[in-house]
Amino acid sequence: MAEISVYSTIGVRSAAEELFPRFEAASGYKLTVTWGTAPMLVKCIEGGETADVLILSRAGIDQLKAQGKIAPGSDVTLAGSGVAIAVKAGAPKPDIFDAGGAQAHFASLQGHRL
């Protein structure tokens, strides 16, 4: 059975662990997966390690692409991720629109929970 080496960010691990066995069963390939954070995996590739497939953040893919370590035109966006913040009902809206405001707000929350 032919092997495919995959370096994948842990951000997609739960979905990938469900999909990878299906791929293996349908294709006959064996996936050898290395899990890590995107920055860790980028460092591995920059340090000379290789993988057949990379599943990374867009920033990681772009960084490696700029270094010529990814085949031109081979990258595709699999998913997008938005990050949000909210406060509990009735709480005042915090001033978190710049780093200073966000730091002051989060410092004032020590010991508080939603």
- Position 32 scores a pLDDT of 97
- Position 92 scores a pLDDT of 75
Residue 60 has pLDDT above 80, yes or no: yes
- Position 25 scores a pLDDT of 95
Domain hosting residue 13, numbered range: 3-66
Work out the pLDDT band at 101, boundaries 50, 70, 90: confident
SS3 103: helix
Look up the CATH number of the domain holding residue 32: 3.40.190.10
In a domain, 73, yes or no: no
- Position 83 scores a pLDDT of 65
- Beta strand ranges found along the chain (DSSP E): 3-9, 30-36, 53-55
Q: What total of structural domains would you count in the chain?
A: 2
Closest CA to 51 of 43, 15, 59: 43
In a domain, 79, yes or no: no
SS3 33: strand
**Token pair in block for residue 87:** 């406060």
Quick one: DSSP state of residue 70? S
The pLDDT mean for the chain works out to 87
In a domain, 77, yes or no: no
